[in-house]
Chain A
Amino acid sequence: MDHLDQLEQQSVYIFREAFRHFERLCMLWSIGKDSTVMLWLARKAFFGHVPFPLVHVDTSYKLPEMIAYRDKLAFEYKLQMVVGQNKQALDEGDTFPIKLGKRPDMSKEEQQQLRTACCGRLKSDALGATLHGTGTRMRLNLETGKYEVDPDKQPYTGVIVGARADEEGSRSKERYFSPRDKHDNWDVGDQPPEFWNQFKTDFAPGTHVRIHPLLDWTELNIWEYIKRERIPTVSLYYDQGAGTRYRSLGCGPCQSPIKSTSKNVDDIIDELKSGALKNVAERSGRLQDGKHGLEELRRKGYM
Chain B
Amino acid sequence: MARPDAKVAERDQMNVVIVGHVDHGKSTVVGRLLADTDALPQGKLDAVRRECERTGKPFEYAFLLDALEDEQDQGITIDTARCFFKSSARDYIIIDAPGHIEFLKNMISGAARAEAAVLVIDAKEGVRENSRRHGYILAMLGIRQVVVCVNKMDLVGYDQKHFEGIEREYRAFLESIGAVSPRQFIPISAIEGENLASRGKKTPWYKGPTLLEVLDALPKAPPKIDQPLRMPVQAVYKFTKQGDDRRIVAGRIEAGRVKVGDKVVFSPSNKVSTIRSIEGFNTKPRAEIEAGWSTGFTLTEEIYITRGEVMSHVAKAPQVGTRLRVNLIWLGKKPFVSGRDYKLKLGTTALPVRISKIHKVIDASRPDRSTGELRSPERSAGGQGDPPRVPDPIIGRHDVADLVLELRQPIAFDLTADCEATGRFVIVDEYDVAGGGIITEAVSDDLRDLRDEARTRDFNWVPGGVTSAERTARNGHRAALVMFVGKAGVGKHKLARAVEKALFGEGRAAYMLDGTNVLLGVDNDLWVDAAKSELVRRFGEVVHLLLNAGHIVVSTTNTIGLADATAVQALIPDAPLVLVEVGDGSGQACDLLVSGDEPEAEVVAKVRALLDARHITAV
Contact = CB atoms under 8 A, between A and B. Distances in A.
A193 B105 contact: yes
A169 B73 contact: yes
B529 interface: no
B278 to A, nearest CB: 11
Interface residues of A, number: 64
Interface string B242-260: 1010101010100000000
Given A19-B235, A166-B84, A289-B75, A200 B432 contact: yes
Nearest to B9: A224
A274 B3 contact: yes
B432 A172 contact: no
A143 B4 CA distance: 51
A198 B9 contact: no
B233 to A, nearest CB: 11
Interface in B230-274: 234-235, 237, 239, 242, 244, 246, 248, 250, 252
A44 B42 contact: no
B72 A168 contact: yes
B5 A194 contact: no
Interface residues of B, number: 67
Contacts of B244: 47-49
Contacts, number: 176
Nearest to A13: B294
B80 A193 contact: no
Nearest to A173: B81
A294 B82 CA distance: 20
B586 interface: no
B41 A279 contact: yes
B292 A284 contact: no
Interface in A35-84: 43-49, 51, 78
Contacts of B3: 270, 273-274
Nearest to A43: B281
B252 A13 contact: yes
B6 interface: yes
A264 to B, nearest CB: 13
A193 B436 contact: yes
B378 interface: no
B234 A282 contact: no
A83 B234 CA distance: 30
Given A47-B239, A49-B239, A166 B77 contact: yes
Interface string A107-142: 000000000000000000000000000000000000
A289 B72 CA distance: 12
B293 interface: yes
A13 B233 CA distance: 11
Nearest to A292: B73
Most buried by B among A1, A195, A289: A195
Given A9-B293, A169-B80, A198 B426 contact: yes
Nearest to B105: A193
Contacts of A149: none
Contacts of A47: 237, 239, 244, 246, 248, 279-281, 296
Interface of B: 1-6, 8-13, 41-42, 68-69, 72-77, 79-82, 84, 105-106, 108-109, 112, 141, 223, 234-235, 237, 239, 242, 244, 246, 248, 250, 252, 279-282, 292-294, 296, 307, 331, 343, 345, 421, 424-426, 428, 430-434, 436
Interface of A: 1-6, 9-10, 12-13, 16-17, 19-20, 43-49, 51, 78, 165-173, 175, 191-196, 198, 200, 202-204, 218-220, 224, 229, 270-271, 273-275, 278-279, 281-284, 289, 291, 294-295
